[in-house]
Structure formats: structure tokens, C-alpha cells
Chains A and B, each alone.
Chain A
Amino acid sequence: MSDPLRYVGFDLGTTNSAAAFFDGETVQVVRTSQGGQLTPSVVRITKKGATSVGHKARRFLDKDADNTHTGFKRLMGTGKTLAFPAAGLERRPEELSAEVLKSLIADVDGQFGFAPTRAVITVPALFELPQSRATTEAATLAGLEAIELVQEPVASALAAGWTEDSAGAWLVYDLGGGTFDVTLLASQDGVLRVEGHDGDNFLGGRDFDTAIVDWLLTTLRDDGCDVRRDNPAHGAALRTLAAAAEEAKIELSRSEQTTITLVEPLVVDGEEHEVDVPLDRATFERLVLPLLDRSIDVCLRLLDAHDRRAADIDRVVLVGGPTMIPALRARVQERLAPLAEHPHDPMTLVAQGAALFAAQAGLDAQGATASLPVRHERGHKVLLKYPSMSTDLSPFVIGRVVGQADDGARLSKVIASRHDDKFVSEPATVEEDGSFAISLELLPRRANRFSLMGQAEGGDPVTVEPGAFTIVHGLTIGDPPLSRSVGVALANDRVRVYFERGTPLPAKRTFVHHTVDAVAPGEDDHALVIPLVQGEFDDAHLCRLVGSLDVPARVLKEVLPAGTQVEVTLELDRGGHLTAQAYVPRIKEVFEGVAQLLVPACTPDVLEAELRTMHERIEALRADAFRMRMPELIAEIDKLMPDLDDAERGLDAARGGDEETAQRARRNLIELEARVVQLELTRDWPEIDSEAVDDIAFAASWVSSLGTETEQKLLDQAIAQANRAREAMDAGQLARRMRRVRNLGEAAYYRHPESWRHQFEFAAARADEATDPAKAAALVQKGRAIIDSGDHMALRPLTEQLWGLLPIDAKKRQRSHLSGVR
């Protein structure tokens, strides 16, 4: 370990990527072959199959759009491939990311003379499991042998904390090309800790460009140039405009005023249009202010979730290109907290942090064993364990003797001395089993090099191998925490959480579930489905499905009846790779292999259909709100509209072939749906509530006259629970409680001789809704005959049969990702 320290970190960004190098004392951003610090995450493949990456490829983004791709990071783990028609190739996002990594590796080699094989790569904090796994795959494809993933905000904070005093609460505000992440960190005693994340997977610099383009389109339309987003033929024109808008945006970070000019006239529907539109900072700021506020709202939401206020934040670290925008900086200071004192480069901070993290993880860029010098004099061989990076100024080094020196003298004491000679440790005694522990002292923020010396029994000095080691002092962070809880969706639409958010990785857990439905070998379309979800919601259907462990009926040799025990084990490695296992003790078989679910593809048709239903729902909601005179509800509905418009634009983009924007719209629609559901609940609540009140009254009166004492007590409890649910406006809970109230009420009610006749009449009235109307009609007829005969009790089986034909509530399971376990 006497080699110089070499740690490498990569920021694999959506728009731009970067690499950094750390030698134990200073962090350097790696220069690209072009002389800059950033490598645009752009890949082009020419007709001949030649791949170019970075600036070289970027120039072709609008000239040769078909064969030049960017933003593929967002498609990582989606299983989607990107076409390079000229070369006739298809590439997965993982492969394209690997190309970018290879280019970064080559840059490191160019500047430092070695190609790293071990490094740290950053991922967004809110990356889901399939995405992290894809990143690991990209690294492998790029030829890296060992990697660690670290979350971007953690890296940013490490880098910022490396250069300034770090105590207190931090906010890392990372606005990239297409994603926004905000992270709350706290540092105490030099240990950095992630308190929480939030973010918007679909907010970034690109939205600023879009805002400019939209403004531009209206301006151009006034000039008779009609470019439309939903017209695939206008794709090229839009791309050209977007590129111009981005340039203007970047320009406006420096100057007050710019002009959007195109070198070549814009060709729209065969007509040429000159574009030469002035844009000033004030207009730009007006256009993007809603976006800025959206990002800050996310920050405030995060703070709120952790019982903090903006005033509790000591500093904000800004990361990402758009944070260069002066208005953004002003807005952040105005609404959040002061910016970090030290000027950080928002574009490369992440990469720098990654390199620092490599030091902490002891991930030397070429492996520690690369070049052990062969020595002639042979001392006592020892194995050493120490933190390669330590927050603690007085850490331990632990050692164990594994080989005696040639002269055979027993090693009795070991001493470590720092290379500046200002510190020499107490002699540590070598224990019976050959182990020893030495307490060291470090110089702050430095690479501290120590020499190790042994003493034989009599006090004679003897050599020890290795004779030296290095510990870097600096801010450190614990093991990578899981950013979102992972669990199994249950049949009752709940989630059994296996790993809570913040669980240090790797982690492994097992829980016992029971099947809710029988699965028989013959039923080929049947399977026991164990959906794996990620998210913080209590309701399974709101969480993201990240995989599914299926036991298809066709692999079974015997029936698994309902209630069969299934032991599910989930395991997450450090890189966020999820493996799952289901053991069924009854048949002593293990089922493995998560069908790694991918983000589903998003075609314009799907999107359109979803959008249409969403429109209908919102309109219905609005109409009801007017009718029922609920002004607050109307106001809430109005707040949905911008997002709906957004989704609409996404649909246009999807028609134009922009998968990425379409994905984003899809995602927004899901979020929109959650809000609409909430509003629908607000609308329906009075009805739900009054129905509950009626049912409670029904149950209370029957139970008090015909119920038993226990039933009375049970009912009182159930009513109290129902009332609690009513207060909390928790519809799910209320439904569960009310079912109980109703059943109790009915049990009492059925003791009344006339009750079955009432029930029969009630069910008969709904007979036309039955799944099998003919059978239902026959039952109704039979029932009438029984009534005439006066034997009301005989109506019961008949009525129940009738009920069976009426629509039942099977919907809930459907929603819970079709889970087959409880």
C-alpha cells in the first residue's frame, strides 16, 4: 500500500457527465480531450458504425437527430432500445451510458496515465431499483471491475463539506437537465447523514427550454409561422428551436439580453421562416418563475416532512447547470436559506464528491494489490484493517500477524508513527491470537501516512510488512442508505415493508405470507403473484411496482390451496440489485427470479386514452362541484389544470416521437390521478359520510333491540372506530369499519322473522344488475312463491344465492398489483 492514493469518481449525468480524481488531499476534475471539464451525455453512431461521444456527438444533435441520442439516462432500466437507423443498430440505454463511461475512463487515462478499473458512479437519489441495476450494468459494459454507487446529493455534500466547515443542516438542491433532486442532510461530529430526499423526476433545465420554446411558438405564430408540437413533421424544427432556446437560456445567465437567432432559416411545411427574436432576462424570468417555485415547493415539502422549517437550514448547496441562473439563486435565497459560502462549481461538484466517496469506500482506482513491491528483507507479515477515510481524528488500526519473520523472533509490540514525526503511538501489545489494535492520531483534512514498526520480546526493533499505510481525514458518510422503502404488495392493497427508507445496504429480510387464493397446476393462466413495490404509501397501488415474483400454475405439481405459507426473502445488494425468493414449505420448493419489471413503454395511444379518462373525470368532478356548490373544490380542480395541460403537451410530444417527454407525462398523469382520487373523495365524502351515519343508526337500533350484550359492545367499538375514520376522512378505513358495523347490525336484524322477506325484496329489485339475469329472474320467481307460502326463513338461501349473482367487490385485489398473498 505504499503506492500513491488514486481514487476516481464519475458523475453520469442526464445531460452532462464528468470525472474527478482524488489523491488523498486534493480533488481534481478530469479534463476532457477537448479541454473542458464536461462530457455531454450524447452518443452518435455513424453509418459506418463509428461511435462518437460527448462534444463531438453533441454537434449532431439537431443535424443528425436520428442517429444521435441524449437523455438516455432517463430510460435506464426501461428495457427500451434506441435506434441508430444509419448504422442499422439498436442500443439499450445501458450500452450508451457505457459509451459515455468509456470516454470518461479514456480522459482519466489521458491526464493521469492509468485507466481506472474501480470507481464510484453517482445515481440520482430517487433512482428506483431497476435503474440502479442498469447503472451497474453500464459500468460492467464499460469495463469497470468494481464499482460503488453513491447518490448524487451525497456526493455533492461530501464535496462541499470537504472544503468548508460542515456542521448543521444542509440542503442539496440539484437541478439537472431533466431531473430535480433535493436532499436534506445533517452533519454532526464530521459524519454526514442523509435525512431525507424529495424531488421531481421530471423537472429540469429542459423545462426552461420548453418554456422558452412555447413562448417562441406563440410569437412565431403571430408572424405566420405555425409550428405544432403534435405534428411529427415539425420535429426537426422543434429540435432546432429547442437548441436555440437552450443557448439563449445559458446566455441569459451571463447577460441581461439576448436574441434567439437561427443560422439557417426554419423550414416549416416547406416554407422558410427567418427566426430572430429578442429575449430579455425579465421575460425569461417571468417564463420560468413557476418552474422555480415548483422546485422550491418540493424543498419545502421535504422540510415539512422532517419537521423542519426553512430557517433551520444552515446552507444550500446548488448543483446542476440551471443553478447558474441568477433568478434561481435569488429565489432560493429568498424562499429557502443562504447559499453555501464557498464557491462550488455546480457542474462538477457531483463528480468531485464521487471521487471523495471512492476514498471512503477504499475503492482504489486500480485495486490495492496491483503492485506489491517485492522486498528482500522479510519481516513479520501482518494483515491491517483501518478506515481508508476517517472522520474520527483518532481512529484505530487493527492488525493480525499472519507470518513470522525469517529470524523467528516473536513480535510482541507494534508501534505506528506518522510521517511528519509529530505523532508516535503507544506500543500496542500483540495478543495471543496475533491481533493488535493501535490508536492513531490524524491531521485534519490530510492524507496521513504512517509507518509501522515492530518490537521483539526483548524490545529489539523488527520489521513489519506492510510497513506503512495511509488514512485520509475528512467528512464521511455511513453506508449508502436506501432511498425508498421496498416491500411486498398484499392482497388487501396494503404493503408489507421489508426495508424501510434509510436502511443501510446491503440488506436481507424474510417474512411469512399466506396465499389468499388456491392455485392449481391445471389452471394455466393462473399464478401466485407476489408484487414487489417501492414507495412510501400505505396503499399498495400507489407504490411503484419494481418487480414481481411469480409462481405460475404450470410449474406446480400440486395444488397450493388458499392459506398456504410462503416465505418471501428479499435481498438488496449495495448497488440496489434486488433479488427475491419464495419458499413454499408445503411443497418444499423455492421459486426465484424476479421478473424485473421495467417502466412500461408509453405509446401515444395509451397516453391519449389515459388523458381522455382523466379529462372526463375532472370534468365530471367540476360539474358536480358546481352543482353541489363547493367553491373550495372548484379551486382545487383549477389547480389541476396546468398539469393536465402539461400532460396534453406530453401527448403532443409522444405523437412527435419524443418518448422521454411522453414518459414524463405518463408519470405526471399518475400523480394527477392520485390528486383526482383525493378530490373525488372530497366530493363523495358527504354522501359516504351520510350513508355511514344511516348504517350506524340502523345497526344501533337493531342491535339494541335484538342483539346480545357482546354484540352491543362490539358494535360500540366498531362505531367508535368508524367515527374516528370519519373524522380523519379516511375512506378506506371507514369502509372496513362500516362493513363490520353493517354485519353486526344485520346479524341482529335477521333475528327478526320478517327480515328475510325485506332482504329478498331488496335483492330482487336489483336483479337486473345480476351477472346472470336469467338465473336471477328464476330465483326471484321462486322467492315470490315462497313468500306466498309464508315460510320466510326459507327465503334465506335463495336471497343469498341472489346476492351471489350481484356484482361483488373484487376490485380491490385488482388494484393491489393483483397480489396473491397476505
Chain B
Amino acid sequence: MSGAAIIIVFFVLRVLVGTIGVGGLGSQEPRDRIERDFGFLLLWVLLGPAWLASWVGGIVDLNPWLLGTALALTPVMLPWALCRRITMPLGLVRMTYWIARLSMYVLGRDRYGGPLLAATVAFRQRPQSERTRAWLRGRYEKLKELRGGSATGWAVLLDEDDDDREMGQSRMEAAAWFDWRVSPAVGRRMVGEWLACRAIEQQHWRAALAVARRRESKLFWAGPKVLQKLGVSVSELAQAASRGTLDVVLAATGSRPAFGGSPALEVTEAVAQRALRDAHPPAGVSLRLALLRCAHREQWQAVLDEVSASTEKRAQAPAPTGDALADAVTTHLFVKSRPVTSAVELHRFGRAWEDVLYRDDTRAALVGRARALGVNNPEQVFERIEGEVTDAIAALVGEVDMGRDIAEPSTLVTMAAEEVRDQRVEALELCVGQIAGRVAANRRLPTVDEFEEFAVMLHLYDRVARSAADGRELAYSQIGSQLTDWACWLWNDRQQYSLANAIFRFCAVEGLRTNHIELARINLDNIGCRGG
């Protein structure tokens, strides 16, 4: 037994592991899994006994050679465990990266990006030197293709030193659009848990619930073939979408949890349900089990306890006094000083101001006062107040889901929402227009930055979608085809298959939801493309 022999074996195995079981777009799930499992099995069959024996022998005989061999083989045999349990918690960035490179079983779908993700998680564990950060960034920037794992890692890395919360969120959402075939399962789980944690942190319980329950339709991994099998046409899907039953139909095509199984997400669901006072709180046993499986049992328990305990400590809306102006202004203050929870509340706020601004008696009284002060043009001041109110409303639009049918809608709110939506659409158009210009001029950005633009786009799109019930339709009608072009360019000219695929998926889903059948069909076809 010599060191040289060990090293040779090591490299042979390394090559072996490297060539098998790597997923990619176009690969089939079962086959992929078999290949991967086979590789792993082979490794264990070939080396497992020797490895175990050298541990046993080494410990029993206290033989330094045997112990050395055992230790040296450990990263090959159980690379992920080593990372997860030791190097990652210790924040050893480079070591995590190199060991994770051996972990084909867990990270094989993103062979280079997955280890980077692991290294980034390690990076997050403790304060790191500027050099380490630069090293990590450099690795990301050198990636030939950005896949799910690296996209997630990049999002985590940037969020670490970016104060822009919303962008952080969008980056993670962008990472979530990557296909499972190019995203290691741990990476997907990280995305889901990350989104869940953020939502909990911000007390966006509905968002938390949605993340915990998010499912992915089979359509997106099997492509339009599924439709053929089911005998459903794209236009039928789109019709379902416009009826609001898209999710039902998609579910019928087969689906699975979007982020894979995660106990943390199960707990999140329970937390959100409790916070929202759901009629059917989750059963005790499964929750207990999920908690047991969670990495941070105590903290999760604490979160759970806290939401259960927080009984209606919501601030009480100010009671009306009959003085329309004082009421409106006070409501204004109230609405501004804490998060608004519903569109109904927003509309009530709008109506309070309407009582001041558009009722003849209140308005006349104000005009009188203005004249007494020597205001030449009171109307102008009213316009400013209206502007102020509109701005306040605008700031809140998008915080709440604007919803479709409000019982007593406020014109001010409706108009402000429209205005906000238009402004946001304009920002989105500007962004996508800029991307289109870049594509036309063939100006290439480093891959991570192409991803960043996708995230920015998502962010702007999401803002539009939230600002009005019809925001999504408007947004998509303005940018859908340019986005498709961008993705095509990424695919054809830049071989960024995974990112392109993510954008196709986005375009397909949103195309269906907004009844752009034609674009949806094109993008569904594109999802089916093989690459890489």
C-alpha cells in the first residue's frame, strides 16, 4: 500500500464519478436517477469495503497508514455529509467548494454551480475576508453555464451584501424558475426555505403559505407532450387560465412540490396557517414529525409558539368623529404608520378622502379658509393634496393584493392603482426594451449578470402584477415577445440553456395565465428543447 496507489485510485474514481449521472436539460428523470444511483452504487461497491476496512483496521491497529487512507477516502465516499456537517458550518469556503466538487450524488445536476452554492452557504456562516469574497465572486463569474444551483448561490451571495430586500427576493424567485434537471435538490430546497423564511420574517403569511404549498406542473418538465397525452390543447389551458382554474388543470397534468419535500416548509405551512387563523390547522402528529426532521427545531418551535400566542394585537382603526377632514387625515396617518392588510382597507381610506375632496360642503369650507389665508388658487392646493393622497395610495398599492371585486370601490384608489400600474409597466418596458436593445446589438453580459437582469425583470413584472388585477395582462402584452427573443438569444448564441429555459418557462406560464396562447405555445415548445 503506497500513497501513490491511493492517489491513482482516487483520480480514477473521480473521473468515473464525473462522467456518469449528470443531469441536463432534455434528460429524462428516471434515466437520470438510475445513472446517478448506479454511479453511486458502483463507487460504494468498489471502494466501500476497503474504506470501511481501513477505518476499522486503522482504529484497531492504530496504523497511521490505514487511518490516513481512510481519512483520504472520506471526501470521496461521503463528500456531501462532510460538507454539510463540518466544513459548511465552520465557514470553510474553499474547502467546502473542493469537497463538494466530489459530491456528484447530491450536486451532480449542477456540477460546478452546486459546489459554489455550498461554498456560498459556508461563506454566510461567519464574517469572511474580502479575498474570499472576491474568490467566490470570481468563480461565479467564470462559470460557463449558470444552472439552478449556481443561480441560487449567486442570489444568496448577493443578498449577503445588498440591502435591497425586494431584489433579493426576486433573485431567489428567479432561481426558482430553473428546471429541476439542472438544479440539485438541496438547492431547490434552499430556495423554498429561503423564500419561506423571508416571508415569515416580513410577516407575509399568505406569501409564506403560497411558498409552502407551491407545486410545479408536469408540463414544465415533460413539455407539451404531456398535453398531447392528456388531449388538452394550449388554448384550452389558456381558457382555463382566464377562468382562474389554470392551477386545477395544471394539477391534472401531474405535479409535485415545487421545492421538493422539506420539513421546514411543512412547518412554515403550519406557521402561516396559524397566523392566518386557518379553519383547519395542521394535524399535530405530522407537524411534530416535521419539526423533528427540521434542522433548527427549537427556533421553528419558537416561531410557531409566537404566532399562536399573538392574539389580535393589531392596532385599532381610528373611530370616525364626524369631522370629515380630521377623519381623513387621521386615517391617512393610521394607514401610513403600519402595514395595510387588505384592499378593502385601502378603499376605505380612499373614500375617507373623497368625503373631504369631493363633497361640496367640506370643500367649500376649505376653499373659504384658503381664501382667508390669501391663497390665489385653492384648486391648485387641492390638486396637491389629491396628489399626496394618490402618492400615499400608490405606495400602498402593491403592498396588498388589489383584488378584483371590491364592494365599495374608491375612485381615488382605483385611479391611483391604474396610475401606479402604468408607471410600473413603463419601468418594466424600459428594462425589457433595454435588454432587447442589447440582444439586437449582441452586447453580452457575464452570465451572472444576465441572470441578474432576469431577476430585475421578474421584480418589475411582479410589481406590475401586484399593482392591479389586470396588471399581469398588461405587463405580459407589453414584454412577452421581447423576453422570448432574449431567451432565444441566450439559448442559440450564448448556450445559456438553463437560464434560457427558465425564461421560457416564465414566458410560458405567464403567457397561459394572460391568455397569450400563441406566445405560450412557442415557449412551451422551447421548454421541450434539448440542450447542454
Contact = CB atoms under 8 A, between A and B. Distances in A.
Contacts of B426: 492, 736
B460 interface: yes
Contacts of A520: 445-446, 449
A563 B460 contact: yes
Contacts of A710: 242, 469-470, 473, 515
Interface stretch (B74-82, B262-270, B516-524): B516-524
Interface string B194-211: 000000000000000000
B440 A307 contact: no
Contacts of B427: 514, 822
Interface string A106-139: 0000000000000000000000000000000000
Contact of B453 (A518, A793, A805, A810): A518
A584 to B, nearest CB: 10
A747 interface: yes
B344 interface: no
Contacts of A588: 161
Contact of B167 (A563, A717, A739): A563
A740 interface: yes
Contacts of B485: 797, 800-801, 804
A563 B456 contact: yes
Contact of B437 (A514, A711, A717, A808): A808
A396 interface: no
Contacts of B522: 793, 796-797
Given A516-B431, A516-B434, A744 B477 contact: yes
Given A492-B430, A711-B473, A740-B478, A561 B453 contact: yes
Interface in B143-183: 158, 161-164, 167
Question: For B427, B473, B488, which residue has the most chain A Cβ atoms within 10 angstroms?
Answer: B473
A562 B431 contact: yes
Interface string B469-509: 11001100110010001001000000000000000000000
A414 to B, nearest CB: 37
A736 B522 CA distance: 28
A491 interface: yes
Contact of B477 (A308, A514, A518, A743): A743
A63 interface: no
B124 interface: no
B368 to A, nearest CB: 18
Q: Chain B contact residues: over half helix, strand or loop, or mixed?
A: helix
A796 to B, nearest CB: 7
Interface residues of A, number: 46
A241 to B, nearest CB: 47
* Chain B interface size range: 35 or more
Contacts of A747: 477, 516
Nearest to A512: B164
A800 B425 CA distance: 21
A517 interface: yes
Interface in A282-332: 306-308
A793 B523 CA distance: 13
B412 interface: no
B453 A750 contact: no
A715 B473 CA distance: 11
A711 B515 CA distance: 9
A714 interface: yes
Contacts of A308: 376
B164 A559 contact: no
Given A307-B377, A563-B460, A710-B473, A516 B430 contact: yes
A558 interface: yes
A714 B474 contact: yes
Contacts, number: 108
Contacts of A517: 434
B438 interface: yes
A709 interface: yes
Nearest to A559: B449
Contacts of B425: 740
B332 interface: no
Contacts of A740: 425, 474, 478
A565 interface: yes
B348 interface: no
A800 B439 CA distance: 12
Contacts of A714: 470, 473-474, 477
B481 A800 contact: yes
A518 B445 contact: yes
B111 interface: no
A188 interface: yes
A586 interface: yes
B348 to A, nearest CB: 24
Interface in B441-477: 445-446, 449, 452-453, 455-457, 459-460, 469-470, 473-474, 477
A713 interface: yes
A751 B518 contact: yes
B33 interface: no
B473 A188 contact: no
Nearest to A713: B470
A717 B445 CA distance: 38
Contacts of B401: none
B158 A586 contact: yes
Interface in B415-435: 418, 425-427, 430-431, 434-435
A518 B452 CA distance: 10
B430 A561 contact: no
Given A516-B431, A810-B437, A563 B452 contact: yes
B137 interface: yes
A773 interface: no
B487 to A, nearest CB: 11
B62 to A, nearest CB: 51
A744 B480 CA distance: 12
A562 B473 contact: no
B374 interface: yes
A708 interface: yes
Contacts of A562: 431, 434-435, 453, 456
Nearest to B474: A714
Given A306-B376, A810-B437, A822-B427, A561 B158 contact: no
Contacts of A744: 474, 477
Nearest to A708: B515
Contacts of B377: 307
Contacts of A790: none
A514 B167 CA distance: 11
B117 to A, nearest CB: 20
A585 interface: yes
B439 A307 contact: no
Interface in B75-123: none
Contact of A518 (B438, B439, B440): B438
B418 A491 contact: no
Interface string A724-756: 000000000000100110011001001100000
B459 A563 contact: yes
Contacts of B516: 747
B453 A563 contact: yes
B187 to A, nearest CB: 22
Which 3 residue pairs across A and B have the least CB separation, nearest first?
A563-B456, A561-B452, A307-B376
16 contacts: A306-B376, A491-B430, A518-B445, A520-B449, A559-B445, A559-B449, A563-B167, A563-B457, A565-B167, A710-B242, A710-B515, A711-B477, A713-B470, A714-B474, A804-B439, A822-B427
Given A793-B522, A808-B437, A822-B430, 8 more contacts: A308-B376, A516-B430, A561-B456, A562-B456, A585-B163, A708-B242, A740-B478, A805-B440
Interface of B: 137, 158, 161-164, 167, 242, 374, 376-377, 418, 425-427, 430-431, 434-440, 445-446, 449, 452-453, 455-457, 459-460, 469-470, 473-474, 477-478, 481, 485, 488, 515-518, 521-522
Interface of A: 186, 188, 306-308, 491-492, 514, 516-518, 520, 558-559, 561-563, 565, 585-586, 588, 708-711, 713-714, 717, 736, 739-740, 743-744, 747, 750-751, 793, 796-797, 800-801, 804-805, 808, 810, 822
